[in-house]
Amino acid sequence: MKRKKRFYLDPPQILVLGFALIILIGAILLTLPVSTVDGKGLHFLNALFTATSATCVTGLVVVDTGTTFTLFGQLVILSLIQVGGLGFMTFATLFALLLGKRISLKERILLQESLNNISMEGIVRLAKRILIFTFVIELTGAVLLTIRFSFDFPIGKAIYYGVFHSISNFNNAGFDLMGEFHSLTSYVDDPIVTLTVCALIVLGGIGFIVMNELYEYRFSKKLSLHTKIVLVTTIFFVALGTVGIFFLELTNDKTIKPLTLSGKILGSLFQSVTARTAGANTLSIGDLRHASLFLIIVLMFIGASPGSTGGGIKTTTFTTLMGAVWSQIRGKEDVIFYRQRIGYETIYKALTVTLSGLFLVMVVTLVLTITETGKDFLMIMFEATSAFATVGLSMGLTPELSSIGKGIIIFTMFAGRVGPLTIAYAVTIRRNPDAFRYPKGKIMIG
């Protein structure tokens, strides 16, 4: 008698379907009359776009969040941001632990895949700490922002704004409630808002594995190679972006020229940090010079770090590739960082991630130039990169997208958050190692 074949889903398939289900639920909730101020609910395509942007912690919006949605609608968006930022498997683990349920091996594998962790050892303990880190950081950010907002709004509104913007920015989402697509431009030279939001974005973007290692450093007195690379690369790109934007925009009357020296530095710093996949802005993106916009595109594409709330190809991916290039130039066979050799499988994966991301951005840019006729090419490329890297910055194209354009950006945001490789693994048949190797061939390169 033949046994029935059990239906089985790989971890990548579960992650893809899980994110898709959360987005669909969010979209349906946003179409309800109770979600919008006009009492009509959002059109399904716009609701799907908003739910995808929130769950994928992107921040691109086709309608203004602060003026379109009721408190219910805004809380739906905030919930999607929190679940999307931390990953639904982290929340599933939390509920299982609260119910006293034992975490199975399959669930641990899913959690490892969701957090992009190298090892499964201590993965449940890491999930617990992630929730604690998130609560403490978001609460601290909410308190600081509430104190500042209390000078501009009634205390109830200030508290709500503080909580919303703290959660949104720690999860690198970039949604705001300031109205009329203004984001945080009115606080461009405000040190409390700027530095608090920058800290939230950076902490959310370095990754929970790094955060956990920094927490344990007082006991272990050592940092892994991964953490060292993430910290050095993050500091380098924040500094590069700040200096670059400062000098490129120094004489721009529409951005930082009218500001004081401290305002110029704060504005440049914020725009450099937020380009690392956050999405909020204190400078008008559409008024930036082309050189600044191109610099931001590069920063967006590289993005945050693995296991974080941010997107992009990730800092470690870029550093690995640069290390491979430098080793090739020097005639060295191995890629070495801090006296440790990087395996070839890691280099191949970094190359695959980078090329698949670059290919996706190129295709999306090409298609959008066809569907969004009459729009500036740089504006379209900026939008495509922002969607892939789940950044949320826009030169103003998002609200003007056609229905086809919205659909394309929805897919791009989803692919950017879940990962092109994860989607590829999810839709292909199970991968088995080759039973044999072909003879080596030679081709000329360069």
Closest to 137 in 3D by CA, of 308, 393, 313 = 308
Q: Is the pLDDT of residue 403 over 70?
A: yes
Confidence band, pLDDT 50/70/90 cuts, at residue 433 = low
Joined tokens for residue 95: 């509920």
Which pLDDT value is given to residue 94? 62
Q: How confident is the model at residue 122 (pLDDT cuts 50, 70, 90)?
A: low
> Does residue 1 surpass a pLDDT of 50?
no
| Alpha-carbon span 380 to 365, nearest angstrom | 6
309 or 384, greater pLDDT? 384
The pLDDT value given to residue 112: 60
Rg of the chain's alpha carbons, rounded to an integer?
22
- 127 vs 331: which has the higher pLDDT: 331
What range defines the domain where residue 311 resides? 11-424
Is residue 441 domain-resident?
no
How many domains, in total, are found in the chain? 1
Q: What is the pTM of this model?
A: 0.89
Provide the 8-state DSSP code for 340.
Answer: E
pLDDT of 312 strictly over 80: yes
Distance from C-alpha of 87 to C-alpha of 90, rounded to nearest angstrom:
6
Which whole number is the average pLDDT over 52-61? 90
Residue 75 in domain: yes
pLDDT of residue 209: 84
Mean pLDDT of 392-408: 92
pLDDT in tens, 28-41: 999 999 999 999 98
pLDDT of residue 89: 59
Residue 2 has pLDDT above 50, yes or no: no
Query: 434 lies in a domain?
Result: no
Tokens 């997208």, located at residue: 401
Looking at residue 383, its pLDDT comes to 94
Asked, for residue 172, whether it belongs to a domain, the answer is yes
In a domain, 437, yes or no: no
- pLDDT score recorded for residue 432: 64
- Quick one: pLDDT at residue 88? 56
Residue 432 within a domain: no
Q: How confident is the model at residue 434 (pLDDT cuts 50, 70, 90)?
A: low
Q: What is the pLDDT of residues 333-376, one digit of tens each?
A: 888 998 899 888 889 989 998 999 999 999 999 999 999 988 99
Distance of CA 225 to the CA centre of its chain: 22
**Which tokens in the block code for residue 136?**
């403490």
In a domain, 330, yes or no: yes
pLDDT above 70 covers a percentage of the chain that reads 85
Confidence of residue 159 (pLDDT cuts 50, 70, 90): very high
The whole-number pLDDT of residue 95 equals 58
pLDDT value for 276: 81
Distance CA 334, CA 345 (A): 12
pLDDT score of 26: 94
Query: Which tens digit of pLDDT belongs to each residue from 277-300?
Result: 888 899 999 899 999 999 999 999
329 touches 446 (CB < 8 A): no
445 in a structural domain:
no
Query: In this structure, are residues 173 and 279 in contact, taking their beta carbons and an 8 Å threshold?
Result: yes
pLDDT of 151 strictly over 80: yes
Mean pLDDT computed over 193-210: 91
